[in-house]
Amino acid sequence: MNNTKWIILTLAALWVALTAAIGNPPSVETNIAAKEGFAAPPFELMTLSGDATNLKDLNGHTVILNFWTSWCPPCKAEMQAMQNIQNRYREQGVIVLAVNVTSQDNLNDVKSFITELDISLSIPLDIDGSIAEAYRVQAFPSTYFIDTDGVIRKIIIGGPLSETVIASTISELID
Amino acid sequence: MLPIIQIGPFSVQAAGLVILLGLWLGLGRVEKHASRYAMKPAELETMVMLTLGIGLIGARIGYVASNPTMLSSGWLAILSPRPEMLEPLTGILSGVAAGVIYGRKHQFELWATLDSLTPGAALFMAFLALSHFLSGNAYGMPTSLPWSIQLYGTSRHPSQMYELVAATGIYLWVERQLRVHSDRQSSPGVLVLKFLAGSLGARVLLETFRGDSTIIAGNVRLEQLAALGLFAACLWLLEKRERYSMLDKNNRS
């Protein structure tokens, strides 16, 4: 190679070395954001059964956070898969939170939906839509996979998700 | 950031829309400059669309192959338009293979083909940078510099803007080269290699400001190291092509 190219290449290599030597490496993000690699926005919601669910209490568990509404056909199609995943991975500390965005739904329809599908998942109710806003939910369903440290590892917008896709994502987090 | 554009009842991902726009406009640039390399625009476009189409199919097949239980979910699940159900490696290999086979069948000359695709690729890279800005991907390291932006809870380098400025500059340089140097056929391969070297060099420089780099031993950023290696390879190939072109010119004269 001619001298100019050697000089350019050497400068580039020096830049890489300098970056490694004195640059600040990106650390694990402790900032809260609805984005992969960031701490999941905290929330506390009442569930359909009247209990309180606080995301902070679930640290140490792998959490699947699924935002849904009763009028959304893909939500209905994947809810059974979510239930199956909860049954299958409960012993391994996986918790599925199927958050109903009640601000865009009707509570009676939600109850009918759960009864019709015979779902026993925890159903937190986002009455004012503030949690859906915090998670920047723009389409239903939206699913967030949160690891045991409370960090969002994967976001899947839309559906329906098959049990296979959910299981393969979960297995990476559990491992 | 504007992740979603609401058009009536439809939610459209802005970043995806920008990528499609970049692809469409990029193909337009390829079509405009194809004749300079004695290539038929329609054939070039067909090759690009074939590469992308076969690439997507290959990526889906790769994903299904690594998750064989999907086969029991039925065809609707396998055909589901879910971008996360794509295996990148099989996608790239199958796409490139399809492009190469098509190119050989139509007797495309390798370097001329790559040069003819360069203006489109350069424009597409600028739109890719814009899509990163809209989606919030490729975000920057925290900083307190006056031009930092607020993103994900803190002030950060506007790394997507750095990327956009670099990609736009490279694209404008490519277009200028095509205007200034009319005799491209005598130095095939130089344009694409200079474009690649410029893009990779920019990546080496800008990766320092990224907040999502993969760190390996000794605080080295994996993507930066990979870009440096490819940058070196590009410079070496460029040297060889420039010498070949000079010899070829001398032989002709």
- Domain regions of chain B by residue span: 111-252
- State yes or no: pLDDT of B231 exceeds 80: yes
- State yes or no: pLDDT of B77 exceeds 70: no
- State yes or no: pLDDT of A29 exceeds 80: no
* Facing residue for B152 by CB, picked from A16, A33, A162: A33
Q: From the candidates A4, A35, A144, A145, which should be mutated to test the interface with B, based on the most B CB atoms within 10 A?
A: A35
Using a CB-CB distance cutoff of 8 angstroms, which residues of chain B are in contact with residue A23? 208, 219
Binning chain A into helix, strand and coil, the percentages to the nearest 5 are 45, 20, 35
Length of chain A: 175
Helix (H, G, I), strand (E, B) or coil at A129: coil
Determine whether the interchain pair A25/B219 forms a contact, defined as Cβ–Cβ distance below 8 Å. Answer: yes
With residue A95 as reference, give the H or E element that holds it.
Answer: strand A94-100
Instruction: List phi, psi (to 5°) of A32.
Output: -95, 125
Nearest in space to A67 (alpha carbons), one of A120, A172, A119, A145 = A145
Q: From the candidates A3, A6, A7, A9, which should be mutated to test the interface with B, based on the most B CB atoms within 10 A?
A: A9
B83 pLDDT band, cuts 50/70/90, is low
- Rounded Cα distance between B124 and B24, Å, is 9
* Facing residue for B228 by CB, picked from A13, A35, A160: A13
B70 pLDDT band, cuts 50/70/90, is low
* Facing residue for A162 by CB, picked from B4, B70, B201: B70
What is the ipTM metric for this complex? Answer: 0.82
The nearest CA of chain A is from the CA of B42 a distance in Å of 35
Report CA dihedral (B194, B200, B201, B205) to the nearest 10 degrees: 160
Angle at B22 between CA B21 and CA B26, to 5 degrees: 120
B230, closest residue in chain A (CA to CA): A9
Residue B103 and residue B47 in contact, taking contact as beta carbons nearer than 8 Å: yes
Determine whether the interchain pair A12/B201 forms a contact, defined as Cβ–Cβ distance below 8 Å. Answer: yes
Chain A (123-162) residues lying within 8 Å, Cβ to Cβ, of chain B: 136, 138-139, 154, 156-158, 160-162
- Rounded Cα distance between B207 and B138, Å, is 9
- Rounded Cα distance between A8 and B107, Å, is 36
- State yes or no: pLDDT of B2 exceeds 70: no
The whole-number average pLDDT for the span B5-20 is: 74
Determine whether the interchain pair B224/A25 forms a contact, defined as Cβ–Cβ distance below 8 Å. Answer: no
Provide the whole-model pTM.
0.79
